[in-house]
Amino acid sequence: SQTIHQWPATLVQPVGSPLSLECTVEGTSNPNLYWYRQAAGRGLQLLFYSVGIGQISSEVPQNLSASRPQDRQFILSSKKLLLSDSGFYLCAWSVLIGTGYREQYFGPGTRLTVT
Amino acid sequence: SQQGEEDPQALSIQEGENATMNCSYKTSINNLQWYRQNSGRGLVHLILIRSNEREKHSGRLRVTLDTSKKSSSLLITASRAADTASYFCATDGPGGSYIPTFGRGTSLIVHP
């Protein structure tokens, strides 16, 4: 079965510090990968998605970046965190289950607090 | 990308009652998915309904889809306290990369 890992589970970082969140998927090949951010009591905001190694699409211009160095690894980074970067970060992957149909699955999330 | 919007934003019921949540979207879809999120946790996939389906069941969950009204509903029957969570719908249109977008969700509280 497929599994998605995210770490760390929680993170407290000062403003201006760098960020690196990692997501890995097991049990599947060539998944679509996604990074979302969820502010408290809000919906999910799509940040980045990737359909393959080195292929990253950004949905929201900001001080975050994403990379996909391996097929099942997705990394979210920042050179200098802002207070507004605080939130719950979720990694997700999707699998093709039929012609044109995909199901999406989420990791456990990382709670980031920028102080 | 498409967007699902859930309604109501909050729902409070007693254990044993049924809970109904609605989702509306704007343009044609390929499929629609419902998710549950417990506080501070990731989203859990509940059910996928395809655009050519009208109703789907999974345990105590019943999902309907009305493409003419561009809406879907999630019914949880005989609710339990453990059903307390936020529920989200996500849609995507036909063709292209699957890039679902989510609404703010419905916050369901089931009182024991």
Q: Is A100 exposed, middle or buried (0-12, 13-18, 19+ CB in 10 A)?
A: middle
**What was the pLDDT predicted at B75?**
98
Cβ <8 Å between B50 and A101: yes
What are the pLDDT digits (tens) for A4-19?
Answer: 899 999 999 999 999 9
Q: Which residues of B touch A109 (CB under 8 A)?
A: 40-42
B9: left (phi over 0), alpha (psi -120 to 50) or beta: alpha
User: Tens of pLDDT along B79-100?
Assistant: 999 999 999 998 876 555 677 7
Q: Is the pLDDT of residue A55 over 70?
A: yes
pLDDT class for A44, splitting at 50, 70, 90? confident
Residues of chain A in contact with residue B88, where contact means CB-CB under 8 angstroms, are 43-44
If you average pLDDT over every residue of chain B, what do you get? 90
Chain A touched by B39 (CB under 8 Å): no
Q: How many CB pairs under 8 A join A and B?
A: 60
Contact between B75 and B24 under an 8 Å Cβ cutoff? The reply is no
Nearest residue of B to residue A46, measured between CA atoms: B101
pLDDT score at B1: 47
